[in-house]
Amino acid sequence: MKKVAKSYAMLHAKCPRCRKGNMFANSMYGFHTQKMNDVCPYCGFVFEQEPGYFYVAMYASYALNVAEIVATVIATYVFTQNTTSPWLYISVIFGMTLILAPFNFRYSRVMLLYWLTPKWVKYQPDIKPLPGYKG
């Protein structure tokens, strides 16, 4: 079996065990809901390891949000050189937070599964697909 790079699998939100199945049912942006699959369609890995497992992802999402807000404030200052209008900064921060919300939701869960719980999840490149898998 061909090995899949961890960075590629994380970027495309693939299962951390097989790196082939999609973690989410729909694309990141669009008019669909941000529905996460309960199990990997390829290998059957259960994404929610225990009840309330993804509550920890809220903290990862918070960290992403803080980094994005700091970067947004710095970029706004560099481009506008405006230090007197708080409404400019508030509106830019609010807009970026809304635009990046699907990204934060998705990648906070991906970060949790790949980086914050690595001893539970081991990459198995030779795992066989579930019967009836249509990739």
Sign of the CA dihedral running 130, 131, 134, 135? positive
CA–CA–CA angle 10, 15, 21 (5° rounding): 115
Closest to 14 (Cα-Cα) out of 131, 132, 124: 124
Q: What is the pLDDT of residue 1?
A: 60
Angle between helices 56-80 and 86-99 (to 10 degrees): 140
Q: What is the pLDDT of residue 68?
A: 96
Q: 56: which 2 tokens?
A: 């920890």
Q: Is 130 exposed, middle or buried (0-12, 13-18, 19+ CB in 10 A)?
A: middle
Q: What is the pLDDT of residue 9?
A: 92
Each residue's pLDDT expressed in tens, for the chain with a length of 135 residues = 678 898 999 999 999 999 999 999 887 777 777 788 999 999 988 888 788 888 888 888 999 999 999 999 999 999 999 888 899 999 999 999 999 988 898 999 999 888 877 677 888 888 888 887 776
Q: What is the pLDDT of residue 76?
A: 94
